[in-house]
Amino acid sequence: MNAGRKVKALVMTGFGLNCEAETSHALELAGAEVHRVHLNDLLDGLRSLGEFHLLAFIGGFSFGDHLGAGTVFATRMKHRMKDELDRFIRDGKLIIGLCNGFQTMVKLGLLPGFDGDYFRRSATLAWNDSGVFRDAWVRLVATPGSPCVFTKGIGTIDLPVRHGEGRFMTAGKGVMDRILRENLAALRYADPATGKPTVEFPHNPNGSAAGIAGVCDPTGRIFGMMPHPEAHLFPFNHPQWTRKKIDGSMPGEGEGAAVFRNGVAFARENLL
């Protein structure tokens, strides 16, 4: 460990992305030094991925989600930053994608990222079963034994979803089977009554098979999820906080913070 040095996190902005403020705050809470950089400054070579240990693909509507959520952004990254991105991953660094960021990662091929091939698309996030955008809080259960760096130590976690295209699908059963077998489906929508993964609306807001809400690559360092941990940093973000206050069960910090603490801690231990 290098005491005194800080994990450097990159929050990429621009083109309709919009969760830069809360994602930056989340990473700062977790102890990172956060740099918000416009995608164009990376493409223009004013800044480089190499400066950073952790990259966040944030939420929003990159390019209006025209042509499908994350697609235009992913195409731009693939055609103009592929080598840099590939090097970043091979250097053992971390990537987290949230909502639109997850969609972008999946459309780039970063996830599920089997066998070191990070640019082959074998999954997608299709339109919700309901056919419409939905904002609601959900309960998520972390998959035991998952290699995911970001969900370590998490049992269940309550977070909001805010998306129209969140139904995780794969190209063929083989891909899905392997994701489940290798515990890469790190977070799943759960029925609060049973704590078990569910495909039933509204606890599963989009109809994702096996209740899949978040997926990591086999290394566990590359991770994307549809729900928004950066929108639950304060205990009173939770829709039931007024009840929890009465019961005396209100935590000191929002449950989403743990996701970022895990990522930054891993980077601190392994990359500094």
Partner 1 sequence: MIHRLEIGLKKGVRDPRGQRVRDGAGSFLGIGIEEVSTRSVFKIKADIGRAEASKVLSEFIDPVIEEGSLSTLPAEGFDWVVTVGFRPGVTDNVGRSALASVSDVLNRHALEGEAVFTETEYFMKGRLSGDEAREVGTKLIANELIERVSVVPFSEWKRRGPDLDVPEVAEGPPPPVREMDLEVPDAELERISSAGVLSLGLDEMKAIRDHYRTSGKSAARTGRGLAPKPTDVELECIAQTWSEHCKHKIFNAVIDYEDENGKVERIESLFDTYIRRSTKEIGGRKGWLVSVFHDNAGVVRFNDSLNLVYKVETHNSPSALDPYGGAMTGIVGVNRDPFGTGRGAALLINVWGYCLGSPFYKGGLPEGLLHPRRIRDGVHKGVIDGGNQSGIPYGLGWECFDDRFIGKPLVFCGTVGAAPLKINGEPFEKKRAKPGDAIVMVGGRIGKDGIHGATFSSEELRSESPSHAVQIGDPITQKKMTDFLLEARDLGLFTCITDNGAGGLSSSVGEMSRLTGGARIDVGLAPLKYAGLAPWEILLSEAQERMTVGVPPDRIEAFMDLSARRDVESTVIGEFTDSGAFEVLHGGKHVAYLDLEFLHDGLPRMCLKARWNPPSPPDPPGRKGRDLSKALLMLLGRLNICSKEKKSRQYDHEVKGLSAVKPFVGLQCDVPSDAAVFLADYASREGIVLAYGVNPSFSDVDTYRMMASVIDEGIRKVVSVGGDPDRIAGLDNFCWPDPVQSGKTPDGLYKLAQLVRANKALYDFTTAFGVPCISGKDSMKNDSTRGGRKISIPPTVLFSTLGRIEDVSKAVTMDFKKAGDVVYAAGITRDELGGSEYYRMLAEDASRPDAVGSTAPSVDAPSAMKLYAAVHKAIMAGLVRSCHSPAKGGLAAALALAAAGGRLGCEIELDAAPAEGRMETDSILFSESNSRFVLTVAPENAAKFEKTLKGLPIGRLGRVAGARIVIMRGGKRVCEAGVAEAVESFKRTLADV
Instruction: Give the active site residues.
Output: 99, 228, 230
Work out the number of other CB atoms within 10 angstroms of the CB of residue 170: 19
Which of 165, 82, 185, 41 is closest to 74 using CA atoms?
82
What single DSSP character describes residue 60?
B
Please, what is the minimum distance in Å from the beta carbon of residue 248 to partner 1?
Answer: 13
Whichever of 217 and 220 has its CB closer to partner 1, that residue is 217
Please, what is the minimum distance in Å from the beta carbon of residue 154 to partner 1?
Answer: 18
Please, what is the minimum distance in Å from the beta carbon of residue 25 to partner 1?
Answer: 5
Q: How far apart are CA 181 and CA 174, in angstroms?
A: 10
Q: How far apart are CA 53 and CA 31, in angstroms?
A: 13
33-38 sheet: strands from edge to edge = 33-38, 8-13, 54-57, 94-98, 222-225, 212-216, 187-190, 134-142, 156-163
Sign of the dihedral defined by the CA atoms of residues 43, 48, 49, 55, in that order: negative
Please, what is the minimum distance in Å from the beta carbon of residue 234 to partner 1?
Answer: 7
Backbone phi and psi for residue 137, each to the nearest 5 degrees, phi listed first = -85, 145
Whichever of 28 and 86 has its CB closer to partner 1, that residue is 28
The three-state secondary structure class of 121 is coil
Whichever of 19 and 141 has its CB closer to partner 1, that residue is 19
Whichever of 3 and 115 has its CB closer to partner 1, that residue is 115
Q: How far apart are CA 233 and CA 4, in angstroms?
A: 25
Which of 69, 123, 79 is closest to 101 using CA atoms?
69
Whichever of 99 and 222 has its CB closer to partner 1, that residue is 99
Q: Is 224:105 a contact under the CB 8 Å cutoff? A: yes
Please, what is the minimum distance in Å from the beta carbon of residue 164 to partner 1?
Answer: 8
Cis, peptide link before residue 112, omega less than 30° from 0: yes
Whichever of 147 and 254 has its CB closer to partner 1, that residue is 254
Q: How far apart are CA 187 and CA 164, in angstroms?
A: 19
Q: How far apart are CA 172 and CA 113, in angstroms?
A: 15
CA diameter of the chain:
53
Binding site for partner 1 (CB under 8 A): 13-19, 21-22, 25, 38, 40-41, 44, 59-61, 63-68, 71-72, 75-76, 79-80, 107, 121-124, 126-137, 160, 162, 169-171, 228, 230-234, 236-237, 239-243, 245-246
